[in-house]
Amino acid sequence: MNKLSGKTALVTGSSRGIGRATAIALAREGALVAVHYARNQQAAQETVELIEKDGGRAFSLGAELGVPGDIDQLFRGLEAGLKQHTGQTTLDILVNNAAETSTGTAPEEVSAEEFDKTFAVNVKAPFFITQRALGLIPDGGRVINISSGLTRVANPAQSVYSMTKGALEQLTLHLARHLAPRGITVNSVLPGITDNGNAFFKIPEVREQMSELSAFKRIGEPDEVADAIVFLATDEARWITGAALDATGGSLLG
């Protein structure tokens, strides 16, 4: 406990699912967490309340990503919240988790609008969030990008989404080299099928089919992925950078 005492963190897309679990887990280790949401302020506030109920510290901030002015709006809220809670604007840990997902579209049916929106949220936003955050992140900080196990397997219906996550892993690789002189580590985490509360996870046939993909024959839980993310945020992972950590529950073992 308290491995991150005195640290600050921003988790984008932390109103539910893996993002919420990550925010809670980081706060449990002592970090002050900025809980970002795109549209669902109530859900983000629920995350903050869960953290505070557990004795942690957090604040929420809203900014829809992938639209003009998104980075400015995000950082206005972040810097104001950090200043209010700590008197400074230092950001120790950045978790790029927010993503535009898809229920699956065949390559022949992908529209230009869908393509552009997915890349705007999943690639452009993390790049410029990280760029802006580097002015706040001190030496020894952490950047953690949430990719996907889909970058390792073929799923034509998720081709655009997978492409964006592949791009995010490239960002991880190049920034890891670029930021190493400052002691800032940059890593990716690759979740597999994880129960994010979506209604289809409650359908027994769907759960059974999805469970078969994991070596453990079950669906992952958000806190299991969050634990991997928190590990990369701690000093224990100081010698790990440019890595892609498989958190798929053995879904890529064949």
Give the per-residue pLDDT at 26: 98
Active-site annotation, residues? 161
**Contact in structure between 120 and 66 (CB atoms under 8 Å):** yes
Q: Please check whether residue 150 lies inside any domain of the structure.
A: yes
Q: Give the structural domain span for 131.
A: 8-247
Give the per-residue pLDDT at 196: 86
Give the per-residue pLDDT at 181: 98
Spell out the residues 6+ positions from residue 2 whose beta carbon is closer than 8 angstroms to its own.
29, 30
Q: Please check whether residue 68 lies inside any domain of the structure.
A: yes
Q: Please check whether residue 253 lies inside any domain of the structure.
A: no
> What CATH number does the domain containing 109 carry?
3.40.50.720
Give the per-residue pLDDT at 177: 98
pTM greater than 0.85: yes
**Residue pLDDT, tens place only, 208-233:** 999 999 999 999 999 999 999 999 99
**Contact in structure between 94 and 143 (CB atoms under 8 Å):** yes
Helix axes 125-133 and 70-86, enclosed angle (nearest 10): 40
Q: Please check whether residue 35 lies inside any domain of the structure.
A: yes
Helix H, strand E, coil C: the string for 167-181 is HHHHHHHHHHHHHHH
- The upper half-sphere exposure of residue 243, i.e. CA atoms within 13 Å in the direction of its Cβ, equals 15
Q: Please check whether residue 243 lies inside any domain of the structure.
A: yes
**Residue pLDDT, tens place only, 22-64:** 999 999 999 999 999 999 999 999 999 999 999 999 999 999 9
Q: Write down how long the chain is.
A: 254
Q: Other CB atoms closer than 10 Å to residue 58's CB: what's the count?
A: 27
Weakly modelled stretches of the chain, pLDDT under 50: none
Total domains in the chain come to: 1
Q: Please check whether residue 252 lies inside any domain of the structure.
A: no
Q: Please check whether residue 205 lies inside any domain of the structure.
A: yes
Backbone angles phi, psi at 48, to 5 degrees: -60, -45
Q: Please check whether residue 1 lies inside any domain of the structure.
A: no
Q: Other CB atoms closer than 10 Å to residue 138's CB: what's the count?
A: 11
